[in-house]
A and B are shown apart, each in its own frame.
Chain A
């Protein structure tokens, strides 16, 4: 069942030659605006109860406008938003706080601004105080707080009641590790109870680990709506396109989307993972020696070419990556060449699915001069038929010695 339905949602900001023209419009005297900036152009999507949806996009893509409309502070120009239940937004936490009031007084004020009655506030207060965990500071004026402490109080108030939809902005990236962990577990707890999560972030790791679906906004439209990793790949490629790169997407058998981007002076012709016998494999045993073979086609004389690879786990988190710059094999290839690189290593990985991202670039990083970058260039599975069971993504077999003293 969908908890949020967005239909044909458009938002434009109008500016008039003179503001009196706008005011005349309220009285039925319509004068065309001098300028109309379209921020959202007909968004359509719906979100299922209990799901976690990431919203990504470059600055100005319309993310915050969309969130404000869902929150209800901004009115759409056209289209509609249907919400089933209460929305809580953690947008720029703590903006309503008054530095001269104590934490407790600010909690009362902020909670009542959220429409919570005074009886309910009193009932919620112990929980809020406990969750914020700032002890004696709770009775001190807020101007004496560190920004982390303010965040704790703000998060504690905003999540004092379980909302149907929780909007989380980047805000969560501040605060100490302990509190981050605490707030994430509260978010997960809400999610288990049926809260739908809308998460806005530029951070791939939190998007991929929390969300089961991601919307990529670009220029006020939904450019892609799908699997978090695939969307994030396109998003990263789009950022790269700013520097004149071409972006290409291929849907792989199995439904995942492979994104390739780059300036195109060199391209990846083939990527393969081979076993000791030289056979192409997609299932690898823990610790098995393997060879990653990358074929690169050179389309122009290049002053410098580096090949890099990155092994990612199923959430897209980097497990290991290196390149021929660090391995000190930088070439200056000529037009028309085909170069084969073989990286041999033991697959000391834990069981699970992994993907390989391959890049052809200049220098020690792919940021300066990216000839081609390909996400999901190869996918393989690690199994453990031979060794004792273990958990994690790294295989670090120990030698065990036990001595009993006395």
Chain B
């Protein structure tokens, strides 16, 4: 583990230059460039808001704002997008870089780090745009929103553990890449992101609460929408999961390292 961190540190220039390259590439390729990073989720919000706000508007409790539903959606998607982007990127990271892995000797751990870094920067851009929209909507931005930063880091750690496990397995069993998006869809719809939790009958709540994503999204809602204190049990739940999954992910990564290049 220490050796891993050390090699990561000595390749920090590569991590930085790769994240930078990712952005430059996006600027160059399309006319709107970097804007797509935020335009995509915003379009998603607009679609949900347009279709569902009529149904939901009256049912979002605790927000006294005409744009209540949009605010609720944005904060939930901020958390979800970070999680799903990291899982998706890490799941494919070794296969996408197969060529480099096979021919250049460098610590492979930098690849997932680069992917997480890129996703975090995308997420930061979305956070900034979200704050601008909140200002336009007249939603108060409290200092509690600063807690989104450590929250995002915790979400990244959790997503990175899952992504690493899937990414290692995906090198050997390529079906993973096909199954995971379906599972992500299922989790998405079973997490109160586009609907408030109160439309789900009370007796299913304990079931929903099993999902770590429920706690993550709920925490974001508390920080961003309601300016409520965090539920420490939610935070603890994610921290414990990270502490369990991280050793597993590192174990798989180290064990697979030797054979990974054989099958790539």
- Give the chain A neighbours of B10 by CB distance below 8 A: 115, 117
Does A108 lie at the interface of the complex (its beta carbon under 8 Å from any beta carbon of B)? yes
Interface positions of A from 224 to 283, Cβ below 8 Å from B: none
Write the chain B residue with the least CB distance to A93.
B103
Partner of A23, one of B13, B102, B172: B172
- Give the chain B neighbours of A101 by CB distance below 8 A: 21, 24-25
Give Cα A117–Cα B29 distance, bound, in whole angstroms: 28
> Could you tell me if B105 and A105 are in contact, using CB atoms closer than 8 angstroms?
no
> Could you tell me if B13 and A117 are in contact, using CB atoms closer than 8 angstroms?
yes
Does A26 lie at the interface of the complex (its beta carbon under 8 Å from any beta carbon of B)? yes
Give Cα A115–Cα B251 distance, bound, in whole angstroms: 25
**Chain A: minimal CB distance from B245 (Å):** 16
**Chain B: minimal CB distance from A38 (Å):** 13
The stretch from A68-76, A123-131, A289-297, A391-399 touching chain B is A68-76
**Chain A: minimal CB distance from B13 (Å):** 4
Interface positions of A from 1 to 54, Cβ below 8 Å from B: 13-14, 19-20, 22-23, 26
Interface positions of B from 216 to 230, Cβ below 8 Å from A: none
> Could you tell me if B21 and A112 are in contact, using CB atoms closer than 8 angstroms?
no
> Could you tell me if B169 and A23 are in contact, using CB atoms closer than 8 angstroms?
yes
- Give the chain A neighbours of B262 by CB distance below 8 A: 13-14, 74
Interface positions of A from 86 to 136, Cβ below 8 Å from B: 87, 89, 91-92, 95-96, 98, 100-101, 105, 108-109, 112-118, 121
The stretch from B41-49, B53-61, B143-151, B252-260 touching chain A is B252-260
Q: Mark A119-157, 1 if CB is under 8 A from B, else 0.
A: 001000000000000000000010000000000000000
> Could you tell me if A92 and B172 are in contact, using CB atoms closer than 8 angstroms?
no
**Chain A: minimal CB distance from B115 (Å):** 15
Does B173 lie at the interface of the complex (its beta carbon under 8 Å from any beta carbon of A)? yes
Does B66 lie at the interface of the complex (its beta carbon under 8 Å from any beta carbon of A)? no
- Number of B interface residues in the complex (CB < 8 A): 32
Q: Which interface class (under 10, 10 to 19, 20 to 34, 35 or more) fits A?
A: 20 to 34
In the complex with contacts A95-B100, A109-B18, A87-B105 CB distance below 8 A: yes
> Could you tell me if A108 and B169 are in contact, using CB atoms closer than 8 angstroms?
no
**Chain B: minimal CB distance from A87 (Å):** 7
> Could you tell me if B104 and A73 are in contact, using CB atoms closer than 8 angstroms?
yes
**Chain A: minimal CB distance from B226 (Å):** 43
Give Cα A112–Cα B15 distance, bound, in whole angstroms: 8
Interface positions of B from 97 to 111, Cβ below 8 Å from A: 99-106
Write the chain A residue with the least CB distance to B171.
A19
> Could you tell me if A100 and B28 are in contact, using CB atoms closer than 8 angstroms?
yes
Write the chain B residue with the least CB distance to A72.
B105
Does B17 lie at the interface of the complex (its beta carbon under 8 Å from any beta carbon of A)? yes
- Give the chain A neighbours of B16 by CB distance below 8 A: 112, 118
- Give the chain A neighbours of B18 by CB distance below 8 A: 109, 112
Give Cα A180–Cα B26 distance, bound, in whole angstroms: 35
> Could you tell me if A73 and B252 are in contact, using CB atoms closer than 8 angstroms?
no
In the complex with contacts A13-B262, A74-B261, A116-B13, A100-B102 CB distance below 8 A: no
> Could you tell me if A109 and B14 are in contact, using CB atoms closer than 8 angstroms?
yes
In the complex with contacts A26-B255, A101-B21, A101-B25, A71-B103 CB distance below 8 A: yes
> Could you tell me if B261 and A75 are in contact, using CB atoms closer than 8 angstroms?
yes
- Give the chain B neighbours of A141 by CB distance below 8 A: 28
Interface positions of B from 101 to 142, Cβ below 8 Å from A: 101-106
Q: Mark A46-69, 1 if CB is under 8 A from B, else 0.
A: 000000000000000000000010
Partner of A92, one of B11, B21, B103, B169: B103
- Give the chain A neighbours of B252 by CB distance below 8 A: 26
- Give the chain B neighbours of A14 by CB distance below 8 A: 259, 262
**Chain A: minimal CB distance from B212 (Å):** 24
> Could you tell me if B173 and A19 are in contact, using CB atoms closer than 8 angstroms?
yes
- Give the chain B neighbours of A118 by CB distance below 8 A: 13, 16-17
Q: Mark B22-50, 1 if CB is under 8 A from A, else 0.
A: 00110011000000000000000000000
**Chain A: minimal CB distance from B158 (Å):** 22
> Could you tell me if B258 and A75 are in contact, using CB atoms closer than 8 angstroms?
yes
Interface residue ranges, B against A (CB under 8 Å):
10-11, 13-14, 16-18, 21, 24-25, 28-29, 99-106, 169, 172-173, 251-252, 255-259, 261-262
List 12 interface pairs A-B (beta carbons < 8 Å), by A numbering: A13-B262, A19-B173, A71-B103, A73-B104, A73-B261, A74-B261, A75-B258, A98-B25, A101-B25, A105-B24, A112-B16, A114-B104
Which 5 A-B pairs rank lowest in CB-CB distance, beginning with the nearest?
A26-B255, A72-B105, A112-B14, A75-B258, A112-B13
Interface residue ranges, A against B (CB under 8 Å):
13-14, 19-20, 22-23, 26, 68, 71-75, 87, 89, 91-92, 95-96, 98, 100-101, 105, 108-109, 112-118, 121, 141
Given contacts A75-B261, A112-B18, list 19 more A-B pairs with CB under 8 A.
Answer: A14-B259, A23-B172, A26-B256, A68-B102, A68-B103, A72-B105, A89-B104, A91-B103, A92-B103, A98-B21, A100-B24, A100-B25, A100-B28, A108-B17, A109-B21, A112-B11, A112-B13, A117-B13, A121-B13
